Homo-oligomer: A and B are copies of this chain.
């Protein structure tokens, strides 16, 4: 067990009171935060690290993504969502391989770690491969193996296999891995399949990660088919009885909000995708007023193009202020909370997300001494509005360095790039995809 003492840091705790300590110390014992500011006199650090006035803060959580989809970055730009799916992404995915998932996820991890993201909620295929990648690269993740439930031969897996995967993965890698069920959505999955999934969730006490209420059309279809909104459908089918995470949840009415609040559902908005595809604005102020936990995600690189949580944080503020025409909605602390502890809570890492004694030693260092942060009138505003991924110098999860002075510590970047390019070349050469080129 390594004991580390960080000195001369600005500690941005993001706890309930958003305590900030200037020129302070942080003591880490192994994988756990021992003390902030007031360091016990008998603490014997193996290593002292002079932070030089930079900020130490909790790491970021990307609470909804399809990490492997880096392979689709820029593959389907400026298209409506329906054409994005039908003409581009689902065609490409028809040739998906386990290797593409391995290396696509590792490429995403490089981008995420460099940008200060320590954990992610993944919803995709070949999740056993993602578990291997995360076990090795030191991040935290909540893994949901996507299932459509429409066809036994479809990409993905069947529920019994999913159940085995969750049992094997839950709590693995010293608790850095978590897993839950991943039915795709009420608009893609048949009703009876969703009901069966709900029964498994309750029996096994598994969580659920699902998409819902992304477009107004989905709500209309749901009302027409079932006389229920998508959120009402999920509730009716019993899918909200265990810890659940719903991505998007844009088109919800007040009854939906009551359900989400009562069932303590975690909502993940992905502002860059919501805005880029003109999908609408998640009702975050109404959700916060009902004490619904709202986290943030980048969605996949196939839609958002970048996996940059600083951007999502800013857009979370900007999208609301544009929608409501006010300059006072959502402050900097709220944006930071959505990207840190709200994400930790949504993913079930209840011992992460803030800097406090007893919490996991999960933190990042932001080099706020750079010129583009000056002057530091307001450290919270500086973090929200000035930080880009390149400003993150160090990333630590459970006491292990993933990034140290901007060098990746757990990933061989050249190997990942090579594996990624080989897997992508094979996929693009597949008969399923080769008739489709970007200039069509």
Contact = CB atoms under 8 A, between A and B. Distances in A.
A110 B371 contact: yes
A389 B389 CA distance: 10
Contacts of A75: 377-378
Nearest to A391: B390
Contact of A413 (B308, B315, B371): B371
B276 A84 contact: no
Secondary structure class of chain A's binding surface, majority of residues: helix
Interface in A266-308: 272, 274-281, 304-308
A323 interface: yes
A371 B104 CA distance: 11
Nearest to A315: B318
Interface stretch (A27-35, A126-134, A140-148, A417-425): A417-425
Interface stretch (A164-172, A205-213, A326-334, A349-357): A326-334
B328 A382 contact: no
Nearest to A318: B275
Counting chain B CB atoms within 10 Å of each CB, which of A318, A376, A382 scores highest?
Answer: A318
Contacts of A277: 321, 327
Contacts of A71: 375
A327 B78 contact: yes
A386 B306 contact: yes
Contact of A325 (B111, B114, B280): B280
Nearest to A421: B375
Contact of A322 (B275, B381, B424): B275
A424 B376 CA distance: 11
Give the bracket for the number of chain A residues in contact with chain B.
35 or more
Given A319-B322, A388-B389, A107 B374 contact: yes
Instruction: Quickly give the copy total for this chain.
Output: 2
Interface in A69-104: 70-75, 77-81, 84
Contacts of A375: 70-71, 73-74, 420-421, 424
Nearest to A380: B77
A293 to B, nearest CB: 22
A43 B74 CA distance: 37
A324 interface: yes
A262 interface: no
A24 B431 CA distance: 32
A376 B74 contact: yes
A378 B74 CA distance: 5
Contacts of A324: 278
Given A70-B374, A74-B376, A78-B327, 11 more contacts: A74-B375, A74-B386, A75-B377, A275-B322, A277-B321, A278-B322, A281-B322, A318-B319, A319-B322, A378-B438, A390-B391
Interface of A: 70-75, 77-81, 84, 107, 110-111, 114, 272, 274-281, 304-308, 311, 314-315, 317-319, 321-329, 331-332, 371-378, 380-382, 385-386, 388-391, 413, 416-417, 420-421, 424, 438
12 contacts: A74-B378, A74-B382, A77-B331, A78-B328, A80-B328, A110-B372, A275-B318, A275-B321, A276-B318, A278-B326, A305-B386, A315-B318
